[in-house]
Structure 1
């Protein structure tokens, strides 16, 4: 019995479809609740190449719903993509996995796209700024992508096909895509699993080139309220949309439009991005901080320092997460005080 025999016996996939999956490359942005479930599903299905990108590291609160991580990952503050790659390679050593610890913005995606054939983008993020960047990137390079989001017991999913369907920006004025966050409404794990199931089944249809089987509606549900809804949104496609219209400009691929600080959902923390991208020598920074009496912990990807009621996590790409505040100005002040 072969590894993928059960999947190959499913007639719409078969051996031909399985080989197509093996030959495809998926870019997954965000390795949190949605991303870990999506990554595991793809790797177990036999995806040939998977690229994962995420800015964060594993914390204890992640373990309730982010299925690839362990207590040791939380203790060690392991970057999520590193922990995820380690777990995924144990599931399927035949899958090529590229892992990037970074804040995903226009610069990162443009660098990634150079010489790289991407067949599908999956949304595992938790904020609309990043999703709008993904949306523009997908439109520019004509790559299908699957939007997914959840909060509390509510979830939503929609597949965006460049040149064919409305893009995410087309929907913003007509569809309530935002509102409550995990900070205000929490999240239960069954909501995550249903959203990723919706994303994964559409992924399999795309990867096996079964386009006629794909859902053409936007799908929403509320597990607690036992409700589902499908919306026909093709009429919402706008000819004057700046992202996918007749004279598109892809405004969200302008890196200057990206904010340099962001409050992180449910974390009591602010992320600070430097104005210039550079690799940081963590050992040099750690030594300087220790010289002024601060307690510093460090691994290959990040360092952690404590300052009164704040904890500062510095990544190799110069980003920092300042814990203990949701005030961007306070976070920036702390960042510049210790990191320049």
Structure 2
């Protein structure tokens, strides 16, 4: 394994010194979907010392076309993405530390998760989570790389707190609509191109090279590419990164939390406190209600009233086939009750 990183070390911008630096760095990847998978695999193969991936979702067959860490077996057994990614990455590189966390990334755990992290990569599919990343990295002065892709186009932007505009500064300049992967689709090359820009910025920063502050846009299908310097868009009154920042997206809310998943007719319900009820106990309790149940140690899936529930350890639940938050809460209390 002595030659493992030899070709990367031959690249003069990294070299032996840069490789040694990589081995001592810790990167947090928020989201283990298409971008998260691509970034995580490249960083694992590059020899970054520790990778932490957090994702709230599980693997479905529709993921296999673009989420490269997962297999048909993962989809068949409905495995949590974070756990399946952890297993696959350990098989790719056993020399580094890999941690997969099957949880939601939210205001209550963001500051804990960012401790001792050198950089954060955005692998999410929604701006609610991105603004939490934006606030927590600004508060703790940790650089991060925003990335997004849809259909055949993508964007990437490196953000250095205190030096470059944050995502909130650029709110009027960053596209936030136009559909989701579930509604308008995506092709794999757009994912790989976006992740390549993100991973490159990450490797540059971790090895001591200058950090770019350019907003990258491309369309691989049409052959379009543009790059814009956004340094002069830094907002001195920004609520998230200025000297008077209040970090609005880190304000912790009390009680049960709900979130509508992008384009999936699905609502996530997260109890205020994680429950102690085991999945096996809940599975047994539901036997009198429905025969459509499956439990794999990490999550429990069942169907009742024409609705599909996916319950993770601790009680966090995805309720498919419901778009009304009030109805989702009622169903959660009726059948999960953690």
Whether the TM-score (by the shorter chain) exceeds 0.5 is yes
Per the alignment, residue 167 of structure 1 pairs with 166
**Equivalents in 2 of 1:234, 1:43: separation in Å?**
31
Per the alignment, residue 194 of structure 2 pairs with 195
Per the alignment, residue 16 of structure 2 pairs with 15
Pair 1:66–1:339, CA change in 2 (3 A): same
Per the alignment, residue 34 of structure 2 pairs with 33
State whether residues 50 and 97 of structure 2, in contact with CA within 8 Å, keep that contact through their aligned partners in structure 1.
Answer: yes
**Equivalents in 1 of 2:27, 2:277: separation in Å?**
29
Q: Which 10-residue stretch deviates more, 31-40 or 283-292?
A: 283-292
Give the structure with the higher percent helix.
1
Per the alignment, residue 303 of structure 1 pairs with 300
Q: Which 10-residue stretch deviates more, 164-173 or 271-280?
A: 271-280
**Equivalents in 2 of 1:202, 1:174: separation in Å?**
21
Per the alignment, residue 250 of structure 2 pairs with 253
**Equivalents in 1 of 2:301, 2:281: separation in Å?**
14
State whether residues 57 and 81 of structure 2, in contact with CA within 8 Å, keep that contact through their aligned partners in structure 1.
Answer: yes
State whether residues 54 and 100 of structure 1, in contact with CA within 8 Å, keep that contact through their aligned partners in structure 2.
Answer: yes
State whether residues 147 and 157 of structure 1, in contact with CA within 8 Å, keep that contact through their aligned partners in structure 2.
Answer: yes
- Spell out the pairing of 1:170-189 with structure 2 (5 A cutoff): 170-189=169-188
- Spell out the pairing of 1:122-271 with structure 2 (5 A cutoff): 122-211=121-210, 214-256=211-253, 260-271=257-268
Q: Could you tell me how far 1:279 is from its partner in structure 2?
A: 4.4
**Equivalents in 2 of 1:243, 1:60: separation in Å?**
38
**Equivalents in 2 of 1:62, 1:203: separation in Å?**
25
State whether residues 159 and 213 of structure 2, in contact with CA within 8 Å, keep that contact through their aligned partners in structure 1.
Answer: no
Q: Could you tell me how far 1:261 is from its partner in structure 2?
A: 1.9
Per the alignment, residue 52 of structure 1 pairs with 53
1:29-66: per-residue Cα shift (whole Å, max 9, x none)?
A: 10000000011000000011011100011110000100
3-state DSSP of counterpart to 1:255: coil
Q: Could you tell me how far 1:287 is from its partner in structure 2?
A: 1.3
| Cα RMSD after superposing both structures | 1.7
Per the alignment, residue 310 of structure 2 pairs with 313
Q: Which 10-residue stretch deviates more, 5-14 or 307-316?
A: 307-316
- Can you give the 5+ residue segments of structure 2 that lack an aligned partner in the other structure? none
State whether residues 290 and 302 of structure 2, in contact with CA within 8 Å, keep that contact through their aligned partners in structure 1.
Answer: no
Pair 1:60–1:136, CA change in 2 (3 A): same
1:279-335: per-residue Cα shift (whole Å, max 9, x none)?
A: 442122111111334432112211011114221000112111111233333322322
**Equivalents in 1 of 2:14, 2:245: separation in Å?**
36
Q: Could you tell me how far 1:198 is from its partner in structure 2?
A: 0.4
**Equivalents in 2 of 1:129, 1:168: separation in Å?**
12
**Equivalents in 1 of 2:305, 2:3: separation in Å?**
57
- Can you give the 5+ residue segments of structure 1 that lack an aligned partner in the other structure? none
State whether residues 144 and 159 of structure 1, in contact with CA within 8 Å, keep that contact through their aligned partners in structure 2.
Answer: yes
Moved over 6 A (4+): none
3-state DSSP of counterpart to 1:256: coil
State whether residues 155 and 195 of structure 1, in contact with CA within 8 Å, keep that contact through their aligned partners in structure 2.
Answer: yes
**Equivalents in 1 of 2:168, 2:275: separation in Å?**
31
When normalised by structure 1's length, the TM-score is: 0.94
**Equivalents in 2 of 1:180, 1:24: separation in Å?**
35
Q: Could you tell me how far 1:19 is from its partner in structure 2?
A: 0.4
State whether residues 105 and 258 of structure 1, in contact with CA within 8 Å, keep that contact through their aligned partners in structure 2.
Answer: no
- Spell out the pairing of 1:110-125 with structure 2 (5 A cutoff): 110-113=111-114, 116-125=115-124
Per the alignment, residue 284 of structure 2 pairs with 287
